[in-house]
Amino acid sequence: MEKIYLDNAATTALRPEVAAEMMEILQNEYGNPSSSHSFGRTAKSKLELSRKTIAQFLNVSAQEIIFTSGATEANNWILQNAVVNLNIKRIITSKIEHHAVLHAVEFLQRKYEIQVDFVKVKSDGSIDINNLMELLSKEIPTLVSLMHVNNETGTILDLEEIAKICKQHSVYFHSDTVQSVGKMELDLQQIPVDFMVASAHKFHGPKGVGFAFIRKGLSLKPIFHGGEQEKGIRPGTESLHNIVGMAKALQVSYQNLDAERNCIQELKEYTISQLQNKFPDMAFNGATQKTLYTILNVRLPLDASKSGMLLFNLDMKGIAVSRGSACQSGSARPSHVLAAFLDEKEVLQPSIRISFSHLNTKKEIDVLIEALLAL
């Protein structure tokens, strides 16, 4: 049975050139980057070269890139620092954020009794910017936390516009950019965001590594202790092979961006046309014209009773898709993202997230469509 992977918003396949780079480090560069001898100095140079590579593609300085275990850690670290060290009294976010943000905000609200305001979500799954501006009219020390690309619907936030609005109101702006780093151009000299995060495994890099961008001039403190790595604000021996792999993955992703984006966009459009042809009563969750080329969320005209077994039945045919975030795939509850802007009946209908990469083909889409027709 041919296996078909269409869950690239959850994680992506490691590029061969990334694996080769990582193996070179694992076999030959085993020094601790904090050590002062030649082995350590060589490892340190590899570490800093990776930092410079990542910074280059975001048009920032290398000192603004801090390595972490991934975006979940980075989100928690930034949000906690905002409250504890930057004296934030209010966080404005939305109900369609990833749980790495939502649950962190809920924790901070319970522990520090901060004010939490949720910006309204429009019926197409996009953020209501007018409502955000209304919330910002109240002069409270505030951090706004809104994701760039929604991981379930692919809806794109105008990052530059929101960042500039936040600057006009003198509030901090944090964005979970996990789904856009390596898939969209991001010039952080033009986009005045204060904090953003990334995970390597979302752009064909290794799991267990990511980074935070911290705008120069903003001072954060560690949330755990035991070392002076990463300028003393993120202790722990750096995972050199993963960091080098992440930098290589980002480099290749941006070098191939135009070609791969065109290829994937064409595949997404083909998928849309096939679905509309075979399922005339289906609907898309989120505004398809404002979504990232890698993500498509589809509400199928099937009985609600089929929702529970939909993914299982596709998996039995070798097809991997999802209902939403992989981080909550074990939950039987409907997607909190879809529940934020769909009505109760629509939420109960079977929905699937199809997420593409350059490795997918039209033939695979044809197999998916046939499998859906057989349900």
The answer to whether the CB of 202 falls within 8 A of the CB of 188 is no
The answer to whether the CB of 349 falls within 8 A of the CB of 104 is no
Active-site residue among 62, 327, 339, 348?
327
Q: First vs last Cα of the chain: how many Å apart?
A: 18
Annotate 81-121 with DSSP letters as a single string: HHHHTS---EEEE-TTS-HHHHHHHHHHHHHH--EEEE--B
Secondary structure class of 319 (helix, strand, coil): strand
Distances (CA, A) of 368 to 154, 303, 317: 20, 19, 9
Specify the pairing of strand 115-118 against strand 142-145. unpaired
**CA 327 to chain centroid:** 12
- CB burial of 319-358 (b: ≥16 within 10 Å; e: otherwise) equals bebbbbbeebeeeeebbbbbbbbbeeeebbbbbbbbbbbb
Annotate 198-232 with DSSP letters as a single string: EEGGGGT--SS-EEEEE-TT-----SS-S--TGGG
The answer to whether the CB of 321 falls within 8 A of the CB of 152 is no
Quote the CA–CA distance of 62 and 216 in Å, as a whole number.
10
Q: What is the largest CA-CA distance in the chain?
A: 67
Q: Among this protein's residues, is 327 annotated catalytic?
A: yes
* Residues acting as catalytic residues: 327
